[in-house]
Amino acid sequence: MSLTIPATSTEEVTTLIGRAASAAKIWAATKPSERRQALNAVAAGLDEAADSLISIAMEETNLSQVRLQGELKRTTFQLRLFGETLDEGSYLDARIDPADPEWPMGVARPDIRRQLEPLGPVVVFSASNFPFAFSVAGGDTASALAAGCPVILKAHSGHPRLSQATGQVVEEALRSAGAPEGLFAVIFGTESGKTALNDPRVKAGSFTGSIPGGRALFDIANSRPEPIPFYGELGSVNPVFVTRAAAAARAAEIAEGFTGSFTLSAGQFCTKPGVLFVPQDSELPELLRNATLPAAAPLLNSRIQSGFAEVLQDLTGHPDVQVLTSAGDSLADPPAPTLLLTSADQLLSDPEGLFRECFGPAAMVVTYANESQLLDVATLIDGQLTGTIHGEPNDLIAPELIRIMATKAGRLLWNQWPTGVSVTYAQQHGGPYPATTASTYTSVGTAAITRFLRPVAYQNFPQNLLPEALQDSAAGRIPQRINGNAS
């Protein structure tokens, strides 16, 4: 069924990057409102092509029509939200320090004005599990184009035809909106992605995928003669801590919420809650043993499925792990949702063996005897995209558990579930390594645009030669921090 799309040749990649480098000059000089129009045109193009794109996606990914419709809506919303971000203007972080002969540093301050400007061409490696929202026209593409950067999009091998079709929609929409030729291109094949990342004209990379794959690309980006930022979103276990008080107050609700979250989209979210800590003497272990798990559903592709089977076999073969419950054969095709069981003592004695990401419909329930073990676990684990606490507002353990988890995760949740990452102004989708390779940035939400921008200061420039946002006449129209104060 899946028509193979040939890998892009090295020559072709080089040509496409040359075009992107030329487009960069034009695109960087466009007005934010022009880039907004182009993003809106892409969103409109996707809306128009929705039926045909979704049907290709269903063939290539095993994801349901409803799920894909929701994801496409998220994708077009995201494109339009970055357009709003451009209009609003504070993403430029425009700062104006007028000359000050009395500047208390002891030397007169010259007139200095600073804004964020685009990095240049970006290579985006798209994800397997979000064929729209983290793929060809996804968040990385939207934020890079919004920032003023051309995009070379490395298609994921899990949905090549969809990538090609979406790429055509994007290219056509950009052309119709008057964007420069070469602003966007899709490339295919593992080698083509590496070639692009190594090209000196490429100024940043972004990636969503596995730890080994992301680390390999991160290493390439950093070992170039000119290293470039590489924004990789790699992996996460997403622990959930249920306090004694919460377990006592809402055990059934928590069991139901957890079951729904870890099995959503067959557990193929980077924010899937992979480990749930519950009091051993609460109702939760028994409730979860008796939970009604959804039926087995095919995973995204055979590679994902074999990866899932491998980790699950490791875990079930671990002497300290039992199968708590399963909706059928966990290793069948498709695999049945499965809950495993261990204890906090056991996990603390072998965290590498037991605290692991298992991408797919499985999770580990960990019983604890003493709430303070939650602090021990939080202290021990490495970087996470999310950390979730189910607690009561007066839980004595909450402040310290939150404090530790804030050093470990990009987003903390209280009495909600980590799946379903809303695209908003305050969203943070990131976290310390290995959750990402760049914990100071986010890959979801409007702040994601900052990944593709760098500050440039202009000292003592005449008004007519300043970028628009730094001119005095932009006051009131574009947010400016004058002399350190927000306007």
Active site residues: 233, 270
298 binds a copy of itself (CB under 8 A): no
What residues from 112 to 141 belong to the interface with a copy of itself (CB under 8 A)?
Answer: 112-114, 117, 119-120
Dihedral sign, Cα of residue 67, residue 73, residue 76, residue 78? negative
Indicate which single residue of 6, 101, 476, 484 sits in contact with a copy of itself (rule: CB under 8 A). 484
Residue 6 engages a copy of itself in binding (rule: CB under 8 A): no
Of residues 377-416, those binding a copy of itself (CB under 8 A): 382-383, 393, 398-399, 402-403, 406-407, 409-416
As to burial, measured by CB atoms within 10 angstroms (0-12 exposed, 13-18 middle, 19+ buried), residue 3 is exposed
Could you tell me which residues come within 8 angstroms of residue 277 by beta carbon, excluding any fewer than 6 positions away? Answer: 239, 240, 241, 242, 344, 366, 367, 368, 373, 374, 377
In the complex, the smallest distance separating the C-beta of residue 360 from a copy of itself, rounded to whole angstroms, is 23
DSSP 60: H
**153 phi and psi angles, rounded to 5 deg:** -100, 115
Is 14 a binder of a copy of itself (CB under 8 A)? no
Q: Is 464 left (phi over 0), alpha (psi -120 to 50) or beta?
A: alpha
Contact between 423 and a copy of itself per CB under 8 A: yes
Minimum distance of a copy of itself from residue 170's CB (angstroms): 20
Question: Do the beta carbons of residue 186 and residue 164 sit within 8 Å?
Answer: yes
Query: Is position 142 an interface residue for a copy of itself (rule: CB under 8 A)?
Result: no
Query: Does residue 211 touch a copy of itself according to CB under 8 A?
Result: no
**Site mask, a copy of itself, residues 321-360, x = CB under 8 A?**
----------------------------------------
Between CA 384 and CA 272 the distance in angstroms is: 11
Q: Which is nearer to a copy of itself, 4 or 485 (CB)?
A: 485
Say whether residue 283 binds a copy of itself (CB under 8 A): no
Nearer to a copy of itself, 338 or 419 (CB): 419
3-state secondary structure of 151: strand
Among 106, 317, 319, 476, binds a copy of itself (CB under 8 A): 106
DSSP 446: G
Applying CB under 8 A, among 48, 59, 219, 281 the residue interacting with a copy of itself is 219
- Residue closer to a copy of itself by CB (options 3, 105) is 105
Nearer CB in complex with a copy of itself: 337/383: 383
Residues 177-206 interacting with a copy of itself (rule: CB under 8 A): 203
Q: State the alpha helices, DSSP H only, in 62-202.
A: 65-88, 139-147, 160-176, 190-198
Amino acid at 382: D
Q: Nearest distance from residue 331's CB to a copy of itself, in Å?
A: 31
Under the criterion CB under 8 A, does residue 373 sit at the interface with a copy of itself? Answer: no
64 binding a copy of itself? (CB under 8 A)? no
Binding to a copy of itself in span 66-105, by CB under 8 A: 70, 73-74, 77-78, 84, 88, 90, 95-97, 103-105
* 54 burial level (CB within 10 Å; 0-12, 13-18, 19+): buried
Candidates 7, 47, 58, 109: give the one binding a copy of itself (CB under 8 A).
Answer: 109
* 365 contact partners, CB below 8 Å, separation of at least 6: 276, 278, 284, 285, 288, 324, 339, 340, 341, 342
